[in-house]
Amino acid sequence: MMCQGTVLFFKFIYQEFYETTSAPEQGTLFQLRNVIHRVDVSGGEGAVDKFRAHYAFIMDCLDAYILGATMKVMELECLDGMPVKWRPPPLLKTAEKSDQYQWLTKLAQEILEEHVKLDKDKNLTRMSEVAKEMDTQTLSVQGMFDDDLQKFVCTCGKQYKNLGFFKRHLVNKHNWLFRDDEDPTADTCTSECKSDSVANYRASFMKNALILRDTYDAYSMCDGGRVVRNAKFEFLCADVRKHNKYKLWLWRFMAYVIALLSPKQAYEYMWNCASNTIGGIGRNIPNDNLVELMVQLVKKKIREQGSNFTYASAVKAALSSQVQDEIKQNLQQEIQQKTKGKSRTKTNKSVDIEVMVMELIKGNLFSYIPGREFQSFRNFQDASERVNLTKLHTWVTKQKERASFEML
């Protein structure tokens, strides 16, 4: 179960990697779905309506991609083969847990470097540098605004009412350079033309699916720190796919945690992202989900009251429903009756995953061949490379202004 926000990030993954093609090209999610006959996976609106099936499919694909990448790194011929590289030390099986963990982490790091981080985070670093530069510029322009005159006053004494004219003056007379004047597409092609679109697709999918898995895990462990960290990536994705409501939601979430609340409040807000109604580690659900569940419960109670329903009875139902639910669950546990719908039969996915791994290897998904393309994913670029930073910066600046008098 996931909160509204994360569901949209999930939708983003389907839009990005599944729906852009109808041609089953080797290694794409669409082709993998056909190979393993996941008929309940349809993409589009179905991704949210039949959430569980679609989520499971993405996770299985991710597992297949991870296994394929591991085989490449270890130079394995098949899943049961003997690795040429990264052969586990002979006594690893009986070694201390911490030693096993260390070895595994190193291997995972190698896979991450070679198959997921294709641009070695250059793009994100560049983006944050440019954003910082824009911030300084905006701040210094705003600093030249005179509150009494209600005008921008330049260092040379000239006054402007209009921001656009003032900026033009700064460019023409003082040699300022504003990013918004630059052509955003100017420098993308020269470096990108010879890249491997297929490898970009693979790396981008692995990255985003890993973020999705991590967010899901962060919510179920109620790990506020990770939820905030992942929100930053999800924010960029929402921007690229123009999920505006979600973008705003994420922005406000981060604004509250980072800037608006007091340290104590921020800490509480961050770590109250999920609740646990059934007990046990890793069984939390996001709070907006909990609200949704409670709303359903109360609605049901009100329906049961039929024509006897009044405002007062609705309030009573709302206040008592959680307690009633708890009593019901306790009773059920006492008589050791299995709670309905709480456990689901687990199907064995390993066969599916093995088939998918073989498809990925056949499609040479884990090599880097400059100039290669999927026919239906021409010039595929990771979402982070498609962010229009000037537009985003203008948006964030506007939101900051609004937040200064609207929020809290």
State the residues that interact with Zn ion by CB under 5 A. 154, 156, 158, 173
Nearer to Zn ion, 163 or 193 (CB): 163
Kind plus residue range of the DSSP H or E element containing 286: strand 285-286
Query: What residues contact residue 63 under an 8 Å CB cut-off, 6+ apart?
Result: 349, 353
Q: Quote the least distance from Cβ 157 to Zn ion, whole Å.
A: 7
For the CB of residue 170, give the shortest distance to Zn ion in the complex, in Å.
7
Q: Other C-beta atoms within 10 Å of 264: how many?
A: 8
Q: Which is nearer to Zn ion, 166 or 201 (CB)?
A: 166
Of the pair 149, 407, the CB lying nearest Zn ion is at 149
Nearer to Zn ion, 103 or 178 (CB): 178
Q: At 149, list the tokens.
A: 């005159």
Residue type, 370: P
In 3D space, the residue among 291, 292, 290, 309 whose CA is nearest the CA of residue 301 turns out to be: 309
Distance between CA atoms of 307 and 75, rounded to whole angstroms?
70
Nearest CA to 29 out of 152, 202, 173, 172 is that of 202
Min CB(167)–Zn ion separation in Å: 11
CB of 169 to Zn ion, least distance (A): 6
Provide the phi-psi class of 364: left if phi over 0, else alpha when psi is between -120 and 50, else beta.
Answer: left
Please identify, using beta-carbon distances, which residue of 158 and 400 lies nearer to Zn ion.
Answer: 158
Q: Which is nearer to Zn ion, 161 or 173 (CB)?
A: 173
* Shortest distance, position 16 Cβ to Zn ion, whole Å: 45
Measured at the CA of 192, the angle between CA 191 and CA 196, to 5 degrees, comes to 130
Distance in Å, CB of 218 to Zn ion, minimum: 50
